[in-house]
Every structure is written in C-alpha cells, then in structure tokens.
Amino acid sequence: MLDIKLIRENPEAAQKGIALKGSNIDIGEIIGIDTSRRANLTRADEIKKERNDLSREIGRRLKANQDAAGLMERVRVIGEEIKSLDSRISAAETALHERLLMLPNLPHESVPHGRDESDNVVIAERGTKPAFDFEPKPHWEIAERLGIIDFTRGTKLTGSNFMVYAGAGARLQRALINFMLDMHTSQHGFREIYPPFLVNRETLTGTGQLPKFEDDAYRIESDDLFLIPTAEVPVTNLHRGEIIPGQELPIYYAAFTPCFRREAGSYGKENRGITRIHQFDKVEMVKIVRPEDSYAELETLRSAAEDVLRALELHYRVVEICAGDLGFSNAKQYDLEVWAPGMGRYLEVSSCSNTEDFQARRAGIRFRRTPASKPEFAHTLNGSGLALPRTMIAVLETCQQADGTVRIPGALRTIFGRDIL
C-alpha cells in the first residue's frame, strides 16, 4: 500500500509511477476523497471536543444538584451532527482504503522502463550451457521413460495440470528440497519456518494478493480460507501487526511449502510437462530489514538463490524486470531463469523482489530503532530459492545421457543416495 501522505504531497510522481507499472487508476479521485475526508474529520474533532467538555460540565452540575437540561439538549444536537459526520468519514475511509489497496507499488528509480517481459533486461549469464552429442529430450519424455512422473494419474485424481511424482522422481524432489533448505539455513543464515498452507483474507491482503488477485487463488468456501500461492504469504505475515525491536533485524526466514495457483487461462504448448502446474513445491526466502538496507539485502538474497543453481551446476541467466512487468507489490525484481536444453528455453525458477514498505504498510510490520524510538515500517523482501518443478526440469534435461538415464549432480549425490537416475 502506498502512503496517502506521499500521494498527497507528490501526486504527479505517484501517477507517473503507477502508470509505469501499467495501472491507470486516477490519483486525482483518491486525493479528492482524502481531502473531503480530512475536512469532515477536522470538523468532527472540533465538535467532539465540545461534546466532551459539555458532558463533563453536565456531570458536575448534576452532582451539585444544578439544572443541566439546556446543556443536555445542546449535546444531543451535537451528537446528531457527529453521527452524520462520522458516517461520512467512515464511508470516505472505506472508499479510500479500497482504492489504495488496488494501487500497485511504485518502481524503484533504478528499474528499467518497459511495457512487458520483452523489455526485461538480461544482466548476466552464468554457468556453462551444456553441450550434447545427441538431441536432448524434453523432461516429459525423459520422465516417462524413467517412470518418475505420472501425468495421466495426476489428471485422474484431480484434473488437468496436476501430476504425480513416483519412485525416484519423488525421491529426487525430496532431495532437492532438503538440499536447498540445508543450504539456506546453514550457509545463508535463514531460519527455517514451516507455516500453514491455508491462510485467511487478512494474510493474503497483507502481502498484496487480495483484493486484486482473488481469482488466482484456490479458496475453501466453507471457511473462507485460501490455499497459499507461495510461502511468501504466510511467512511475511508472521510479523503482521507487530512492532519488532530493532536489534532483531534483519530477520531471515526460509520455508518449504507447496504452492497452489489456479493459473486461469494459461494453458498451451508453452507450458507442457511440469513447467506450469497448479500445485508445485518451492523453497522460499523472506527478509524483514531496515529500510536503508533493503537494496543491499536484495543483492544478497539473489545471490543466495543463485548459489543453489551454481551448486547444481546449471546454466542460468539473471533478468532485471522492467517496470511494466514488475509484480504488483514489487519496487524492484530480479528473475533467475534456468536453461532447459530439452525444451530449448529458459525457465523462471526464482523471483527475488524488494517490496520496500509496500507489504509492511498493508500488514503493519513495523520496528523500533531503539527502545525509545517511534515505530517505523520495515522493508520486506522475498525470493524463491528455488521453485522445484523447473529446477527438476533443468536437472533432468541438463544431466540426461544418450542412453536415457540421468546423471545426478554431484551436490545431490549424498542426499539422494545414488549417482544415476
């Protein structure tokens, strides 16, 4: 959520910023609502003071057995005006809040301008692109031959774009999860979290999925709960409504969870195999930091995610996301895209973002620099470390051999227990 004061003081910049993000919400209307809200508020405050004063005087007179009928009548009249002003104020507050919740975060000044993903900027390519002396196969063919992914039965159990890992496939997935979590907790200083996979509306609003993106989430109607689309949601909200003592920052959390996304209207051959499925696993990193540190923290967050790809010896590139393609809550975002040689394309396996105080404001995540300081909004960041299915794709396709078997990357061999799949 953007700060209404910031919008008030610099409406042109706010309008320009949200336009860069591709939103055309009218800032002028928001300012209009805010202006009349404050006018009513000032008036209401004045007459509330009068009511408070008079009520006190009534009490005094009644105690002294003096007449207070005139004062009571006056207070009654004031009470009616207060009631009407209060209802106008609360209507304005509701309208204002609704609109503010729909406004995207502003892009950081360093973010390249651009409309959509075609304007994103590749800023680095890392690792060696694997060479093959045979035609590399896509992962669905490799997996089918090895019997490690069962698409047909996934569809039978649930529906299209659900799948089943079986045997060594399930084991490889588990090895990857452990490998990633172990790396982040033991080498990068993250504290492991195991959150609920179902969350309520407030939680989803705190990180920015609601109200705008309700249709993207699976909802449990009987209890009005939602399946999490990413661990970022429950983990960032861990400190919702809290004031964190400054010495506890920065906070680093890492969590493994399944993620559930309806992905309405995104089927097609681009998404064959397990590139886009409704339920997938992910290890996620979340940071809560001091505002002045958040951009440096974004770099180390990205580097922590890159460490996983490096350790798995996969070729990938780093993409800086342009303003128009930035996520709703993000001020700056890097994506890591891993090379899938069988598919012949790069796949997004991680998205590392600084939301600055956008989520902190929605969720009320504050901190105190010293025990005597006023609370300030913290900055929150999140990054995948990494998304499992696409990591699995990259491993299968990169490490495939001419005979159809798959060589397990060195870093995984101990945890997986075998060299060859």
Site residues for RNA per CB under 7 A? 4-5, 38, 41-42, 44-46, 48-49, 51-52, 55-56, 58-60, 62-63, 72, 75-76, 79, 90, 243, 366, 371-372, 374-375
- List active site positions: 261, 276, 348, 351, 390
**Single-letter amino acid, residue 328:** F
CA distance 271 to 267: 6
CB of 85 to RNA, least distance (A): 10
Q: Which is nearer to RNA, 147 or 245 (CB)?
A: 245
Q: Which is nearer to RNA, 53 or 117 (CB)?
A: 53
Peptide bond preceding 211 in cis form (omega within 30 of 0): yes
Q: Which is nearer to RNA, 40 or 275 (CB)?
A: 40
CB of 93 to RNA, least distance (A): 10
Two structure tokens written together for 36: 């009349």
Two structure tokens written together for 84: 């009407």
CA distance 158 to 70: 72
Burial code (b: 16+ CB inside 10 Å, e: under 16) for 9-40 equals: eeeeebbebbebbeeebebeebbebbeebeeb
Provide the terminal-to-terminal Cα distance of the chain, rounded to the nearest Å.
47
Q: Which is nearer to RNA, 84 or 303 (CB)?
A: 84
DSSP state of 406: B
CB of 31 to RNA, least distance (A): 12
Q: Which is nearer to RNA, 48 or 188 (CB)?
A: 48
CB of 23 to RNA, least distance (A): 23
DSSP per position, 157-181: HT-TT--EE-THHHHHHHHHHHHHH
CA distance 42 to 155: 60
CB of 374 to RNA, least distance (A): 6
